Structure 1
Amino acid sequence: MQRRSLLQAAGAALLPLPAIAQTAGAKLLKFVPQANLSTLDPVFTTAAVTITHGFCVFDTLYGVDGKQAPKPQMAEGATVSDDGRTWLIRLREGLRFHDGEPVRAQDCAASLDRWSQIDTFGTTLRRAVEAFEAADDRTIRIRLTRPFPRLLEAIGKPHSSPAFIMPERLARTERTKIVSEMVGSGPFRFKADEYLSGARAVYERFDGYRPREEAADWTSGGKRVLIDRLEWHVMPDAATATAALQRGEVDWVEQPAIDLQPMLQKARNIRLQVQDPYGFLAFARFNHSIPPFDNPALRRIVLGALNQEDYMVSIMGDDRATWRACHSAFPLGMPGVRDVGSAVMTPPHDLARAREAVRQAGYKGETVAILQPTDQPTIAPHGQVTAALLQALGFKVDLQAMDWGSLMARRLARQPVEKGGWSIYHTNWPSVSIANPALNTNIRGDGIAAGWYVDPEMERLVERWVGEADAAQAQALFDQVQQRCIDQAPALPLGQFFQRTAFSSAVQGVAPGSVCYFWGVQRAG
C-alpha cells in the first residue's frame, strides 16, 4: 500500500467508540506514544515508553532541572554526615499512594533497595551501601561503607530506570520479576481496568497528589495536572497517527515520522517542537555472551567500518540541522564528552580491507541475528543499514522484523541464535540518560544490562570516577573511559539526533524533557 493510500485509509484504525463515550465532559488529552506499552514496570526496563508511563504513575525522591542538577521532589531535602557515610533524606509531609496509604520511609528504602539491584547507576551506588533503611516514618537513612558524592545524581536520574518510589509490598518484588500492579504516588492514577497492551493505556488525575510550590522543570518542581483523563492510543503505523492528529482525533503524537513532518509543518492546526534539547544518541547493542561478538576484535572492525551518516540519513533525512556525527559512546555537548573516536570512525573506510580483517580475527561463519523493531521509525531503518554493512564485511546475517515490545522481551534471551537468541539490536537513548560513565548502560562492564558486557577494567575506571571529588582527576578518568569504549567497542555509536514531537495547536504547556511530561499540559476549548 502506498503512503497516500495509508493516509486515506487511516480512519479505519481510529479510537474505539466506547472510549469516547466514557469521557464526555472530561478534560481529556489523547496521546500517541512512540511504541506499545508492553512492560509496565519502569524500574525493570529502560524502554522510553515505560519511563514516560512511570513519570505519570510514580514520583522520585529527587528530580532534575533543565540543567540536570538534582532537586528535591518527594523529599524536603537531604543532609550528609561529616565523614560522607550517612545520608538522611526527609520526606515532604502528606504524601500518599494511589491506594490511600501514606508514603513512608520504609517504602522508599525498599524501593531504593530494589532499584539499586537493577539500574546501572544504582548497582554502582549499591556497592557502597551498607543499608537503605528508615530512621522514622519520614526519614530515609542511607548508610555507606565509603563516601559516594554523586548519590543525589543517582537517585534523581531522569531516565532509564529512574529510582521511582513504590509501596513496600511492591518494592519487595524480586529484581528478576516485573511489578505489574501500578500503585504509585505520582500525579496520575493508572486505570488497570482499561489497559489493553497493543491498543491503549488510560490515566486519571490523582486528586491526592501534592505538587511542590515551585514551577515544574523537567522532572522536578510542581507537577500540576490540568487534565482529568489521559488516554494513550497505540498506532504503530505513522501515517495512521499523522492522519488522526490532522483530523483532531488525537491531540499529540510523540514521534511523528520524519518524512511526514514537512506536511505537519504546513498544517495550521499542528505544532512541531524539539522534545529533548540534548538530543538522542543512537546505538547498535551487541550480545557479548555468544559468538561472534564476544570477540572484541570483531566489534572493533565493525566500529571502524560503519558510516554514521548512513544511519542518520536513514531516520532523519538530509537536514543536517536535525543530526550530527558523534564519534563517542557519550553524547556531544554534555560535560566532559570528547569526540575521541574520530580517527577510527571518520570515513572513508576500506571495506575490502575490513573484510579480510574479519577473517583474520577468527569469524567462523556464525549467523548474526539482528532484531529490527518495525514500529519504531527512528530505529527500524538501522537494522537494514547494519545488515548491509555486515554482509559487506562477510558476516552471515539474519534480519528479523518484530514490534518493539517483542524486541524488549527477546533481548533478555541468552540462548544461541539458533535457539531463539540474538546478536544485535538497535536503540537510542536520550542524551541525559547516558551522559556520564555511571549512567551509560551501553558501556558498563558489570554484565547486568541486556548484551551482558563484562569488562572489569571498565568497572574499575567507573568506580574511580564516581568517587573522585577533584574535577581535573574526574575528567582524566572520564577520558580513560571514553578511550576504552573505542578500544573495546562494547556498543556502536551511530550518531546524535534531535527528535520533534507534534501536537494540536490547541494543546498548551508541552515542556522539554527526555520523555513527554503531562503535568502543566492542557487542551484549550
Structure 2
Amino acid sequence: MGRLVNVAALVAAMVLPAAHGAWADPVKGGVIDVATVGEPPTLDPMASTADLVGIVTQHIFETLYTFGKDWAVTPLLAADMPQISADGLTYTIPLRTGIKFHDGSDMDSADVVASLERWEKIATRGKQAAEVIAGIEAPDANSVKITLKKPYAPLLSLLAFNNAAAIIIPSENAGEDPLTKFIGTGPYMLKDRKPDQFIQLARFDGYKSRDGESNFYGGARKQYLDEIRFVPVPDPNTRVEGAVAGQFAYADALPVEAYDKISGGKTKPVILKPFGWPVFVMNTKEGLNSDIRIRKAVQAALAPNDMLTAAFGSTDFFAVDGSMYPEGFAWHNIVGIDAYKPDGDTEAAAALLKEAGYDGSKPLRILTSRQYEFHYKMAQVAQAYLEQAGFKVKLDVVEWATLTKNRQDPKLWDIYITHSPFLPEPSLNGFMSDTTPGWWATDAKHKAVEAFNAESDPAKRAKLYEDVQKVIYDEAPIYKVGDFNALAAQAPNLEGVTPAPWPFFWNAWLEK
C-alpha cells in the first residue's frame, strides 16, 4: 500500500486546546450527542458507500483490518497481518480468539467466510475484490485463506475500509439482504433507532479490545462513554447553532464560514487539513454523459476557482488543484492536468457541444443536496458556467439519503456531486470500480487500473498511478473540483477524540 509522506502534517487536525491544557485522566460514564448531516440510508455498511453510514456503523461492526497511524493497514479482528505466498496469490489470515458478537455468540472462521462472501455480492468494494478472488475458505476455526486469481495490491486496504465495508457478522445473518439484525463485534451496540430523531448506541460489555495503545482507527478501543447518540441535523446552520449552544458534544461537516462563531464559548473548532476533494461524478452509462464529447465539454466549462470560492470563501479552506492527490502524497503527479482549467473555458466547451450535436433540448441533470451546503454552492456556480457554454441545466436538490438512493438509478441523473477524503489507497475511490454509480468501464481504464493494482512495489505503483490519472482526464468520468479543508465542532469537556475524516468516539470521555 502506498504510504503518505509526512502525514502528520498533511492530515493535520487542529483542536483549540482547553484552558487547562493537557487531557485529564479518562473518566467512565456519560452520554454524548453527535450531530450528523442527516439520517443514514441504511445501517448496513456493506450496502452503502455513504460516509455517514460508515461514521455511525464503525462503532457497531468491525473488519479484519483497519487503518493505523500514517494510514498503514493494521489488524483489528485479524490477530496479525496475513501470511502472503511468494506468488502473491494466497493470503492466510489468523483470527483473534475470544471475540463475541453482540448476541453473545463467539466469532470464528465460519462467520468470517460467510461475511466476506456476502461482501463480494453486496458491497461495491466487495464486488471490486471479487473480480480477482478465486476463493475464500476456512482451514480451521481460527484462520481464513483468501486465494486470488492474480496479484492484487489493494486487497488489504479494501478489507480495512469502513465504506462498503467488509464487516464481520454472525454467519446466520450473512444471508440477509437487506440486513435486519445489526449484530457486530464493535465496542458499542445498537440500542434504539428513531428515524430522523436519533440512533442510540450503548456500550457492549462483552467487547474485547486489542491490547496496547490506541493507533488511529486501530489499536486499543476503550469504552468510556455509556452511550453515543447520533442525531440527524440536515440543516448546516442548525448544526452550528446547536454546537455553539452546547447541545452537541460533536457536530460534523460544518460550513467553514462558521469558524469564528464556533471558536468561543461552549464549543471549539476542529480542522482537518487538507481533508479531501469535492467531485462531480458523471453518468457514463446512460443519458447525455454517456457521450465522451459531452463529458469533455463539462470538463472544459467548469471553473474550479469560482466554484471553490463560492463554496469555501477563503483560500485558508481550499486550494485550486487538478492533481488527484495533493503534494506530499505518494500518488501526487501532474499528468493530464492540462485539461483542468481553473477559470473554465466555455468557448472550448461550446465547440465540443457543437461537435456532439447537442441542441439544448435535453437538460443536463445535476443531482445534489443542501445538507452539504458546499455541494449546493458549487452546483449553482457550475450551472452558470455550463449554461454559458450552451447547456440547458436542471438542478435536482434532494435530501442526502435520497441522493444516495437516486444515484443508483442511471435514468435519474447525469452528474451527482459528492466529496471524499484523500484515501490512502487510490483503488478505494469508488470510481475505480466498474459497478459504482457512474459505471465507468472502458478498455483504457482497465488497462491502467489493472497494471496499477497488480504491482506491489510502492515506487513502481506511484509511477503507474500517472497512467491512471491520465485516463481519468482523457475520459472525464469524474471532475475533481479541488482540495478542501473540513470543519467540525467539539465540546471542550469531550476528551480523547482523535481528529479523523470519519470521526469515532471509542477512547473518548467526558471530563467531569
User: TM-score, normalised on structure 1?
Assistant: 0.87
The equivalent residue for 2:167 is 164
CA drift at 1:311: 2.1
Say whether 1:81 aligns with 2:68. Answer: no
The equivalent residue for 1:72 is 75
Which runs of structure 2 are paired with 1:222-371 in the superposition (5 Å)?
222-265=220-263, 267-274=264-271, 276-318=272-314, 320-364=315-359, 365-371=361-367
Say whether 1:44 aligns with 2:47. Answer: yes
Q: Distance in 1 between matches of 2:213 and 2:285?
A: 46
SS of residue paired to 1:381: helix
Say whether 1:188 aligns with 2:188. Answer: yes
Which residue type is aligned with residue 284 of structure 1? Answer: F
CA drift at 1:26: 5.7
Which runs of structure 2 are paired with 1:443-482 in the superposition (5 Å)?
443-444=432-433, 446=434, 448-482=435-469
SS of residue paired to 1:195: strand
The equivalent residue for 1:11 is none
Say whether 1:439 aligns with 2:428. Answer: yes
Q: How many residues align?
A: 483
Q: Distance in 2 between matches of 1:138 and 1:278?
A: 40
SS of residue paired to 2:316: helix
CA drift at 1:178: 3.0
* Residues 120, 439 of structure 1: 8 Å contact kept: no
The equivalent residue for 1:504 is 491
* Residues 443, 485 of structure 1: 8 Å contact kept: no
Which residue type is aligned with residue 424 of structure 1? Answer: I
CA separation of 1:367/1:180 partners in 2, compared to 1, >3 Å: closer, same or farther?
Answer: farther
CA drift at 1:29: 0.6
CA drift at 1:277: 4.4
Q: Distance in 1 between matches of 2:348 and 2:84?
A: 56
Q: Distance in 1 between matches of 2:87 and 2:258?
A: 57
Q: Distance in 2 between matches of 1:258 and 1:470?
A: 39
CA drift at 1:405: 0.7
* Residues 465, 474 of structure 1: 8 Å contact kept: yes
Q: 1:409 aligns with which of 402, 405, 411?
A: 405
* Residues 283, 415 of structure 2: 8 Å contact kept: yes
The equivalent residue for 1:424 is 415
Give the share of equivalent positions with the same residue, in percent: 25
Which runs of structure 2 are paired with 1:50-65 in the superposition (5 Å)?
50-65=53-68
* Residues 300, 345 of structure 2: 8 Å contact kept: no
Higher mean C-alpha deviation, range 473-482 or range 506-515: 473-482
The equivalent residue for 2:139 is 135
Higher mean C-alpha deviation, range 327-336 or range 228-237: 327-336
CA drift at 1:152: 2.1
Which residue type is aligned with residue 39 of structure 2? Answer: N
Q: Distance in 2 between matches of 1:170 and 1:126?
A: 20
Which residue type is aligned with residue 111 of structure 1? Answer: S
Q: 1:206 aligns with which of 196, 204, 214?
A: 204
Q: 1:90 aligns with which of 91, 94, 104?
A: 94
CA separation of 1:413/1:519 partners in 2, compared to 1, >3 Å: closer, same or farther?
Answer: same
User: TM-score, normalised on structure 2?
Assistant: 0.89
Deviating runs (4+, > 4 A) in structure 1?
A: 118-121
Say whether 1:30 aligns with 2:33. Answer: yes
Q: Distance in 1 between matches of 2:443 and 2:95?
A: 37
The equivalent residue for 1:21 is none
Say whether 1:145 aligns with 2:149. Answer: yes
SS of residue paired to 1:224: coil
SS of residue paired to 1:303: helix
* Residues 277, 512 of structure 1: 8 Å contact kept: no
Which residue type is aligned with residue 234 of structure 1? Answer: P
Higher mean C-alpha deviation, range 234-243 or range 200-209: 234-243
Q: Distance in 2 between matches of 1:406 and 1:153?
A: 28
CA separation of 1:240/1:99 partners in 2, compared to 1, >3 Å: closer, same or farther?
Answer: same
* Residues 327, 495 of structure 1: 8 Å contact kept: yes
* Residues 311, 495 of structure 1: 8 Å contact kept: no
CA drift at 1:161: 1.7
CA drift at 1:523: 1.4
SS of residue paired to 1:198: coil
CA separation of 1:134/1:198 partners in 2, compared to 1, >3 Å: closer, same or farther?
Answer: same
Which residue type is aligned with residue 412 of structure 1? Answer: Q
Q: CA RMSD in A?
A: 2.0
Which residue type is aligned with residue 360 of structure 1? Answer: E
CA separation of 1:513/1:104 partners in 2, compared to 1, >3 Å: closer, same or farther?
Answer: same
SS of residue paired to 2:481: strand
The equivalent residue for 2:106 is 102
CA separation of 1:490/1:216 partners in 2, compared to 1, >3 Å: closer, same or farther?
Answer: same
SS of residue paired to 1:116: helix
Q: Distance in 1 between matches of 2:445 and 2:348?
A: 29
CA drift at 1:124: 4.0
Which residue type is aligned with residue 503 of structure 1? Answer: Q
Give CA-to-partner distance per residue, 1:223-267, whole Å, 9 cap, x none: 1121001111222222322222222222111122222221111x1
* Residues 189, 205 of structure 1: 8 Å contact kept: yes
Which residue type is aligned with residue 230 of structure 2? Answer: W
CA separation of 1:259/1:473 partners in 2, compared to 1, >3 Å: closer, same or farther?
Answer: closer
Give CA-to-partner distance per residue, 1:262-312, whole Å, 9 cap, x none: 1111x13321122x4451111011112222100111211221222212222
CA separation of 1:164/1:307 partners in 2, compared to 1, >3 Å: closer, same or farther?
Answer: same
* Residues 114, 174 of structure 2: 8 Å contact kept: yes
| Structure with bigger RCO (C-alpha 8 Å, 6+ apart) | 2
Give CA-to-partner distance per residue, 1:72-122, whole Å, 9 cap, x none: 111111212333332221111110110111111111112222223445554
CA drift at 1:493: 0.4
Which residue type is aligned with residue 359 of structure 1? Answer: K
Q: Distance in 1 between matches of 2:157 and 2:235?
A: 37
The equivalent residue for 2:385 is 389
Say whether 1:521 aligns with 2:512. Answer: no
CA drift at 1:430: 1.1
Q: Distance in 2 between matches of 1:466 and 1:352?
A: 38
* Residues 152, 455 of structure 2: 8 Å contact kept: no
